[in-house]
Amino acid sequence: MTTVLDTLTEKEKQTLRLILRGHDAKSSAQELGLSVHTVNERLRDARRKLGVTSSREAARRLLAEEGGEPPESLGDKALGDAAEGSGAAEAAASATQRRAWFGLGPGLALTLAGVLAMSLILAALFLPASPLSVLAPAPVVSAAATAEADAVAAARAAEAFLMLIDESRWADSYAATGTQFRKLNSLARWTEVSEKVRPPLGKVLTRNLVTNEFVPAPPEGYQLVKFASSYADGTNQVESVSLEWEDGAWRVVGIVIG
């Protein structure tokens, strides 16, 4: 009888076996002579096919299918390059220089948990797979096609989030954020800061997608979507939205307007 595990490619199984041996994404890439990005794509595809939310769980399922004892290091080893205790990066920009939302801190700008990358404080979180994919064997698709589909879905989620902010729908926009963002910010705080930052810009006149890229930051990367927008107050702004895959949907973990 065909099982969901039969949909895994040999390359995906090879990568999961390295996770079983205690490797993370970075050391797996070194072992295989590949980039971390390629290894993360293999792990993400494997998670999506198995309908699990972590690479460790995917590796355990493979182990259970193939038989054998789980390595001691599999239980708690973190996947990716993130070091324990890296904490949250925090920055605040002058109101005369830019307007920004993040997810942490008591200042006017909200700050989110994550790492400093590309001059923006953005989250670098896991991209778990959708649980719906376990209902049927996944079709065999290339990594490039999967990445393109992810990018399109992320861009749509980012634009929908910005439209909620345009309409001052603070509660709805807050509901579209990720778990880490909501752990660090209450709805009341998000509403308070958003009301001070967004309404003065006025109605959005144009919004055009300019960048949509996967950022291979540890542990498994995030999607960064940028729009060039103009507002009724006469200013032109670049809206940068970072997203993570969580509970079967793209969730916003950071936004910068400036």
Predicted local confidence at residue 116, as pLDDT = 35
Whether 101 contacts 109, CB under 8 Å: yes
106 with 231, same domain: the answer is yes
Domain span at residue 68 reads: 4-74
From 74, 91, 109, the end of a domain falls on: 74
Per-residue tens of pLDDT for the chain, all 258 residues: 567 677 899 999 999 999 988 888 899 999 999 999 999 999 999 999 888 888 888 888 888 887 765 554 444 333 333 333 333 333 333 333 344 444 444 444 343 333 333 333 333 333 444 444 344 455 555 666 777 888 899 999 999 999 999 999 999 999 999 887 898 889 999 999 999 899 999 999 999 999 999 887 766 678 899 999 999 999 999 999 999 888 888 999 889 988
Q: Which of 41, 46, 42 is nearest to 6 (CA)?
A: 46
211 with 250, same domain: the answer is yes
Predicted local confidence at residue 218, as pLDDT = 61
Predicted local confidence at residue 144, as pLDDT = 67
What predicted TM-score, i.e. pTM, was given to this entire model?
Answer: 0.49
67 with 167, same domain: the answer is no
The C-alpha atoms of residue 49 and residue 138 are separated, in whole angstroms, by 6
Predicted local confidence at residue 211, as pLDDT = 92
Query: What is the number of structural domains in the chain?
Result: 2
Tell me whether residue 68 is in a domain. Answer: yes
Whether 230 contacts 206, CB under 8 Å: yes
Peptide bond preceding 71 in cis form (omega within 30 of 0): no
Predicted local confidence at residue 94, as pLDDT = 39
Predicted local confidence at residue 37, as pLDDT = 93
CATH number where 196 lies: 3.10.450.100
The C-alpha atoms of residue 57 and residue 51 are separated, in whole angstroms, by 10
